[in-house]
Structure 1
Amino acid sequence: MNWLDQDWLQTQPPIVQQTVGYAQQGLELARDWLVSPAAWSQFALIVLAWLAAAFLTRRLRPAIARLLTPAPGQNTALARARRMILTVLPLLLPLLAYVIAAVGEGVITSVFGSGAVIAFGKRVFLFLAIRAFARDVLTDPMLRLLGKFVLIPVGAIYALGLLDEVTAWLRGTVVPLGDLSFDLLWLIQFVVAGGVIFWLGRWSNDQTGEFIKKQQEMRPATRQLAEKAAEIAIFGAAFLILMNIMGVSLTSLAVLGGAIGVGLGFGLQKIASNFISGVILLLEGQATVGDYVELDGGEAGTIVRMTARAAILETFDGRWIVVPNEDFIVTRVVNYSDAGSANRYEAPFSVSYDTDINTVPGIIEQAVSALPFVLQDPEGPDCELRGFGDSGVDFCCEFWVNGIDDGRNKYTSQVLFAIWNALRDNGIEIPYPHRVVEIRGAAPTGTA
């Protein structure tokens, strides 16, 4: 068939000429199939294979779902495996059609000596399975992206029988990059292999992290250090595996490693310092998640998260403060320990000079001891005389509690309320400032 002006075609770019050639071959193939009894028989077999697969899927899918669906609340390894198998049920219809068509292909080939049409149908069924896999089975955003833009196009090219031609064209298209060069096929393989390997690395890291967090016998700092070490090991191994698969020699990365070293020495020295400080903190355990700390700069709060670069403090009013790990090493840090430790606080007050101060300690200690959050161990409430002020006698009640008086827990405020009520119930006056004004000389008299 020659339905284009050959002179015009010779003036077009090679890609246009190649596309027109493929189109001509496709039209000739379609014409041959339309007038061939063998082709019509194979078309009929493809339709029958799809109808039979649809009938079997309608019968088998509910039964398989009932058989594999675990009981509600089960989270064993077997239950998770059964749920994973249920996610691939959308592939049942195209795969059954593919199998039935493959069985019929042998019969058709033995009768007519050709099975080109049914082979095309099998590739179409496989493409439908690939599309269902990318659309209905993959749930991770990155894998769905690879499925949409890589897996489905490759399946479509394979279904059309052009995979070898497209592969050869990609391999022949070289992209120069300075002293380096690579072909488009290598780039696509690198993106796909890298995406899959690092997705597996992230999944492995999540599973490892969950396992480590369940080891309650380990100290929190040790668990965090183990999580960071596992993360570095997993992604380091993923990087080495990717380089090995893609045939990249690790010795060729020496120049890149040297450049990174120079960058760490200059622009990235703070990042490197914070990273090393974070490792030291995790090893020594001087500050870990759950500790209430106060830094020299005034930052105070509970450590809710420790990253490779910084620690995140949560203040009593819900704000998060990001503190570089280096600050925990080079500055003074007050650590009030974890939320379950005992801490001592003071509640100052004053009484009038008319009070019998010998009775005050017993009254106050008894009132404060009655509060449910006040501890008797390591020491019960202790009311001490602190001095003689301008307006009254100064006392202070020391008490121990579990946790931090950080704004959420109004320990000191409740103790002061108890002191006020105890003094009022015992008729003890809390003084307020008095000033005596002395006027020397005769008082001035008014004139009419």
Structure 2
Amino acid sequence: MAMGWLLSPAAWSQFGILVGAYLLAVVITRRVKPTLHRVIDPGDKQNLFTSSRLFVLQFLPLVLPLLAYVLTGIGEQIVRSIFDSGAVIAFGKRVFMFLAARIFVRDILTDPFLKLLGRFILLPIAGLYALGMLDLVTLKLTETVVGVGNIRFSLISIVRGVIAGSILFWLGQWSNSQTSALIEKQEMRPSLRQLLIKVVEFMIFGAAFLILMNVMGINLGALAVLGGAIGVGLGFGLQKIASNFISGVILLVEGQATVGDYVELDGGEAGTIVKMTARAAILETYDGRWIVVPNEDFITTRVVNYSDSGSANRYEAEFSVSYDTDINLVPDIIEAAVAKHPEVLDLPYPPDCELRGFGDSGIDFAVEFWVNGIDDGPNKYTSDVLFLIWNALRDNDIVIPYPQRVVEIKGGLPVADAS
């Protein structure tokens, strides 16, 4: 074959056209590419089409191989009309397509997963196409049939499934992230926002699974029977999981607890909800521990939500003053001092100083105050209020008592022996 090509005028003419087409493509590309770059590049201008123009701009490296492919295709038609042969130029045309695929994977794809697919799937296919072996390999894979039970499919179906599954997986991840970002921007309850994100995620990947089954040529009816049998068996063993899943949906719909809320359950678990999954909610305590709480516990047990929207929390700080103090002055002094704290609220009630009792060493008071948030973690409201109380009492010469005891010795002190 090689000797025939070397001595054939048709082969030499095809090779000459191939070289000429490539050189012409190089000349045209050098003249056209700067102009295209100037026209497409938005520069510093920001408008509706900026992202689209930047997307198109990254495909400029493909101009040379694709232009050479087109020019070679035109030359192939001319050669075939003259010599009724075009094997050499057809091979060169396929090589240009392989170069375009290589440039696409090397210079254009930036996503790591897509680059991996391009390197191990697109380039091998383009290489087989360039060598003229793609049809032969496809035929062999189509003729080789394997079966699992009543389901039979060819190896080409597996190859299509791997390729389509990889692409559908990436598209599903990308579309899910884009949709989630769009939903996050909408004005709605956080719980409803989380529910919509989960519903969209299930719909996207459910549709991707059905498309993948059709691409692989698998009969969905057979899968339905198999899935029904498996579902009956798993149903008895996965009752708790199903219960937690349904409880999670109820929580998202009703909005009783959502991400960011500080909750306390009957079992003693308490923390901020940092994540809600289909099975459980994850609480983070202020000492850095994560607690996984099944969703069912939020439905079947008593839950205290300290971060419910529109609510405030009441705390109190206790202190004492000596019995020498005019206690009628204490409430006004303390209430005025606590009210200066920037986080203490006037609504639903302003600070309220109350007399609690008469202790052994002093008179007991407590000041109640309302704040938005939890008195723990980054917020130390009670500590701040106690500092304000201390400074206010000191500024008004009010003494905070300490325990005092009077010891009475019956019979008097023993007299020392003079001798």
Query: Is TM more than 0.5 here?
Result: yes
2:151–2:222 CA contact under 8 A, matched in 1: no
**CA distance change for structure 1 residues 446 and 101 in 2, over 3 Å: closer, same or farther?**
farther
From 165, 177, 197, give the equivalent of 1:227.
197
Task: State the shift of 1:96 in Å.
Answer: 0.9
Q: Does 1:177 find its partner at 2:148?
A: yes
Q: Which residue of 1 aligns with 2:280?
A: 310
Structure 2 CA distance, aligned partners of 1:75 and 1:431?
71
SS in 2 for 1:197: helix
Flag the 1:287–1:129 CA change in 2: closer, same or farther, 3 A. Answer: same
Query: Within 2, Cα distance between the matches of 1:88 and 1:445?
Result: 110
Shift of 1:357: 1.2
Distance 1:212 1:366 in 2: 45
CA contact (8 A) 2:314 2:371 kept: yes
Name the SS of the counterpart of 1:358 in structure 2. Answer: coil
- Aligned-pair CA distance for 1:323: 2.7
Distance change >3 Å, CA 224–CA 168, structure 1 → 2 = same
Out of 375, 387, 394, which is 1:424 matched to?
Answer: 394
Preserved CA contact (<8 Å) 1:212 1:227: yes
Any idea what SS the aligned residue of 1:357 has?
coil
> Is 1:92 matched up with 2:99?
no
- In the TM superposition, residue 397 of structure 1 has moved relative to its aligned partner by 0.6
| Distance in 2 (alpha carbons) for counterparts of 1:31 and 1:445 | 138
2:372 maps to 1:402? yes
**2 CA distance for matches of 1:425 and 1:332?**
45
Q: Is the 8 Å Cα contact of residues 290 and 339 (structure 1) preserved in structure 2? A: no
Residue 144 of structure 1, aligned match among 99, 112, 115 = 115
| Counterpart for residue 336 of structure 1 | 306
2:9 is matched with 37
Instruction: Give the whole-Å Cα distance in 1 for the aligned partners of 2:283 and 2:44.
Output: 39
The question of whether the paired residues in 2 share the 8 Å contact of 1:38 and 1:112 is answered with yes
Residues 166-218 of structure 1 deviation map (CA, whole Å, 9 limit, x = unaligned): 112212233343454432111101111222223222222222212211111x1
For the 8 Å contact 1:347–1:415, the answer to whether it is kept is yes
Aligned residues: 417
Decide whether aligned partners of structure 1 residues 43 and 402 sit closer, same or farther in structure 2, where only a CA change above 3 A counts: same
Which residue in 1 is equivalent to 2:89? 118
Residue aligning to 2:227: 256
Aligned mates of 1:97, 1:435 — CA distance in 2: 104
Q: Please state if 1:277 is matched with 2:277.
A: no
Say if 2:22 and 2:68, in contact at 8 Å, map to a contact too: yes
Q: Deviations over 1:70-105 (max 9, x none)?
A: 3448374x2222222123223222101101111222
Which residue matches 2:355?
A: 385
Secondary structure of residue in 1 paired with 2:56: helix
Q: Is the contact made by 1:348 and 1:397 (CA closer than 8 Å) also made in structure 2?
A: yes
TM-score, structure 1 normalization: 0.86
Pairing partner for 1:134 from 105, 113, 119: 105
After superposition, give the CA deviation of every residue in 1:140-179 in whole Å (9 maximum; x if it has no partner).
Answer: 3333232222221111111111112111221223334345
Change (3 A) 1:319 1:137: farther
* Cα gap change, 1:204 to 1:73, in 2 (>3 Å): farther
2:374 partner SS = coil
**Alignment-derived partner of residue 246 in structure 1:** 216
User: How many angstroms apart in 2 are the aligned matches of 1:313 and 1:261?
Assistant: 33
Q: Distance in 2 between matches of 1:214 and 1:75?
A: 21
| Paired position in structure 2 for 1:62 | 34
Contact kept in structure 2, 1:391 and 1:433, CA below 8 Å: yes
Quote the offset at 1:66 in angstroms. 2.8
Tell me if 1:237 matches 2:207: yes
Inter-CA distance 97–339: structure 2 relative to 1 (3 Å threshold): same
Q: Which amino acid aligns with 1:428?
A: I
AA at the equivalent of 1:59:
R
One-letter identity of the residue aligned with 2:111: D
* 1:442 CA drift (Å): 4.9
The one-letter amino acid of 2:166's match is G
Give 1:277 shift.
Answer: 1.4
Q: Percent identity?
A: 65
Unmatched runs of 5 consecutive residues or more in structure 2 = none
- Equivalent position SS for 2:341: coil
- In structure 2, the residue matched to 1:193 is 164
The C-alpha deviation readout for 1:245-273, integer Å capped at 9, x for no partner, is 3332222122223313422421x333322
State how far apart, in whole Å, the 2-side matches of 1:252 and 1:286 are.
42
Equivalent residue for 2:180, pick from 209, 213, 221: 209
Counterpart residue type for residue 369 of structure 1: A
RMSD: 2.3
Q: What is the deviation of 1:381?
A: 0.6
Could you tell me how far apart the structure 2 residues matched to 1:328 and 1:40 are?
80
Change (3 A) 1:270 1:286: same
- Could you tell me how far apart the structure 2 residues matched to 1:243 and 1:314 are? 41
* Conservation of the 8 A alpha-carbon contact between 2:157 and 2:217: no
Q: Assess if the C-alpha contact under 8 Å between 1:130 and 1:151 holds in 2.
A: yes
TM-score normalised by the chain length of structure 2: 0.92
Q: Distance in 1 between matches of 2:403 and 2:24?
A: 99
